[in-house]
């Protein structure tokens, strides 16, 4: 275990096997009236923040589970969909999906189910649907994370000589962005394709980040901005998103 401090700095506590620190903690109080905080990290996976703005303020806690360090970068991602029927989940394959998540405006999610006949009854009964992203860790364990969710508002079932597909969609009037004050919400955009700067703000096209959401802060090259919207586009041949601010 290691403990370090300075007269005006933060106390630090680390514990772990010799030469391999696995848990790290930071305890700080900037002044006698400042905000005490506890920051804990286990590798790149878990981070927590507890703070009180003043001796009379309310304590708040932010916990972040950044699991992306566990993923195998050589494994392709997969996307699936869960139909939520009276609280139960019915998993269905999807060939494509798109969504717009944004602050202060309506959000939209759409997905296409190929060979959809076995899932028509579940589609008709579902109240909500959720898009999940899957990948694997080097250990072989699968990890999945919900990317978007909406009430199931509309659906169509299209049949042809060689196909039977269903398209479902829904709107969310208000997006709960939660607490975005923790430093881990500032994320460099992966796989940057392009950056556009105009009076309406910065817009970047990039690969899809597992954890970035509207209200977070994005870093695109030299540009650093608060995300107002994310447009997701995923098909059988490509997957990317547009991330932007509103001036």
Q: Kindly report the average pLDDT of the chain as a whole number.
A: 77
The pLDDT of residue 138 is 80
pLDDT at 50: 42
pTM for the whole structure: 0.72
Proportion of the chain above pLDDT 70, given as a percent? 66
Residue 189 in this model has a pLDDT that exceeds 70? yes
The region of weakest confidence among 9-23, 46-60, 123-137, 228-242 is 9-23
Between 143 and 45, whose confidence is greater?
143
Kindly indicate the confidence band of residue 120, based on its pLDDT and cuts at 50, 70 and 90.
very high
Mean pLDDT of 78-86: 96
Q: Can you tell me the mean pLDDT for 191-209?
A: 96
- Are 165 and 119 in contact by the 8 Å Cβ rule? The answer is no
Domain boundaries, given as residue ranges, for the chain: 2-65, 78-172, 183-244
Q: Tell me how long the chain is.
A: 247
Predicted confidence at residue 68, as pLDDT, reads 66
Mean pLDDT of 206-218: 93
Q: Which fold has domain 78-172?
A: Phage tail proteins - horseshoe like beta roll fold (2.30.300)
């Amino acid at each position: 275990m290691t403990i370090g401090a300075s007269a005006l700095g933060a106390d630090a506590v680390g514990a772990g096997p010799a030469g391999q620190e696995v848990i790290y903690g930071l305890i700080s109080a900037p002044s006698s009236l400042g905000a005490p905080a506890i920051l804990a990290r286990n590798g790149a996976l878990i981070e927590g923040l507890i703070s009180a703005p003043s001796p009379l303020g309310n304590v708040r806690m932010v916990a972040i589970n950044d699991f992306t360090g566990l993923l195998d970068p050589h494994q392709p991602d997969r996307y699936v969909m869960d139909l939520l029927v009276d609280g139960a989940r019915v998993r269905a394959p999807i060939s494509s999906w798109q969504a717009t998540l944004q602050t202060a405006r309506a959000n939209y999610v759409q997905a296409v189910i190929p060979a959809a006949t076995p899932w028509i009854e579940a589609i008709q009964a579902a109240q909500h649907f959720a898009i999940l992203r899957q990948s694997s860790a080097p250990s072989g364990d699968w990890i999945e994370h919900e990317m978007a969710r909406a009430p199931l508002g509309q659906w169509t079932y299209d049949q042809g000589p060689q196909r039977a597909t269903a398209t479902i969609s829904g709107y969310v009037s208000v997006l709960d962005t939660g607490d975005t004050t923790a430093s881990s919400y500032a994320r460099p955009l992966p796989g940057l394709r392009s950056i556009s700067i105009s009076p309406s703000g910065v817009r970047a096209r990039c690969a899809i980040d597992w954890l970035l959401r509207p209200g977070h802060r994005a870093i695109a090259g030299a540009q650093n901005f608060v995300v107002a919207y994310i447009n997701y586009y995923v098909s059988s041949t490509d997957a990317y998103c547009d991330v932007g601010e509103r001036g």
